[in-house]
Copies of this chain bind each other. A is one copy, B any other.
Amino acid sequence: MRKISKRANIGNNARIGEFVIIHDDVTIGDDAIIESFCELGYSNGREAGPLFVGDGAHIRSHSVLYLGSSIGDHLRVGHHAAIRENSKIGNGFQLGTSSIVMGECSIGEYVKTGSQVEIGQRSRLGNFIWLFLNSMLLNDPRPPSAIIVGPDIGDFAVIGAGSAIFPGVRVGEGSLVGAGCILSTDVPAGQIAVGNPPKLIGSVTRLSMPDGTPAYPWRYRFQAGYPQDIVEHWLHESANLQSD
């Protein structure tokens, strides 16, 4: 049994679970999988327009997507997750179980999160970022206030489990924020931050894999789940660096 609006626009070849609700003004591309107990196109009265989701979406059970956001192709959403209003999200976004996008966010291409993450309102994320389990992007520098300023996370950054990124903090390209880091200051590109209070402990290049090869930039050694053309670009980059 399903409650799907006739004004929802769902592409070809969709698989829709039981007890699913899809409201008006929802557009979803082809080959979507929408699992049981999901609600898409939820309205809280603050959304700026319809919900748009690209091709190949897979939304797991008990999740909620609000109106007003625009999301690229190949969306992956875990169970019990929520994406709120007015966010602009690129292709390949992967949101873990019980994770939340609070709305009004800007999220680039192929950003991936673990479970129980919260991407606070007005966060700005680049491309190919990882946010691990229970990490938090905060946005109110003087809580409670009406100053909402999200963090700014650079391409390829890795945000460790249980860490908190303070409002307005910039995490540079390819940087690594350690598990449990309470990050109240900016991190330059390619650096490691750990601890509470946070400390910068050097370049990500000091970290090795078990076989002694460099662990970072991670894209030169880990390509699972990225599209072929992007992987080839990374491999070319890596080969060029090695021939320097």
Question: B-contacting residues of A (Cβ < 8 Å)?
Answer: 1, 3, 17-19, 21, 36-37, 39, 42, 61-62, 64, 79-80, 82, 97-98, 100, 102, 112, 114-116, 118, 120, 130, 132-134, 136, 138, 140, 142-147, 158, 160-162, 164, 166, 178-180, 182, 184, 194-197, 207, 209-210, 215, 218, 221-222, 224
Whether A179 touches B145, Cβ cut-off 8 Å, given contacts A19-B19, A79-B64, A162-B162, is: no
Whether B3 and A224, one on each chain, are in contact in the complex, defined by CB atoms closer than 8 angstroms, is no
**Docked CA distance A64–B142 (Å):** 32
Q: Which residue of B lies closest to A180 (CB)?
A: B182
Query: What's the number of copies of this chain in the assembled complex?
Result: 3
- The reply to whether B134 and A134 contact each other, CB–CB distance below 8 Å, is yes
Task: Please measure, in the bound complex, the distance between the C-alpha atom of A18 and the C-alpha atom of B41, giving whole angstroms.
Answer: 14
Please tell me which one of the listed residues B19, B97, B133 contacts residue A82 in the complex, with CB atoms under 8 A apart: B97
The answer to whether A179 touches B179, judged by C-beta atoms less than 8 angstroms apart, is no
- Give the residues in chain B near A97, CB-CB below 8 Å: 82, 100
Q: Is the CB of A144 within 8 A of B130?
A: yes
The smallest C-beta distance from A149 to any residue of chain B, in angstroms, reads 10
Residues of B within 8 A of A132 (CB): 138, 140, 143
Contact of A218 among B64, B130, B142, B158 (CB under 8 A): B142
Which residues in B have their C-beta under 8 angstroms from that of A42? 61
CA distance A15 to B58 in the complex (A): 30
Chain B residues with CB under 8 Å of A37's CB are 19, 37, 39, 62
Contact assessment for B158 and A144 in the assembled complex, using a CB-CB cutoff below 8 Å? yes
A44 and chain B: residue at smallest CB distance: B60
**Docked pose: A8 CA to B64 CA in angstroms:** 27
Q: What residues on B are CB-neighbors of A133 within 8 Å?
A: 118, 120, 136, 138
With A62-B64, A80-B80, A142-B209 known, 9 other A-B pairs at CB within 8 A are A80-B82, A82-B97, A98-B100, A132-B140, A136-B162, A142-B218, A146-B224, A180-B182, A180-B196
Q: How far is the CB of A43 from chain B (nearest CB, A)?
A: 11
A61-B42, A144-B222 are contacts. A179–B166 as well, Cβ < 8 Å?
yes
A164 CA to B178 CA in the complex, in Å? Answer: 11
8 residue pairs of the A-B complex, CB under 8 angstroms, read A21-B36, A98-B116, A112-B144, A130-B143, A130-B144, A132-B138, A146-B224, A147-B209
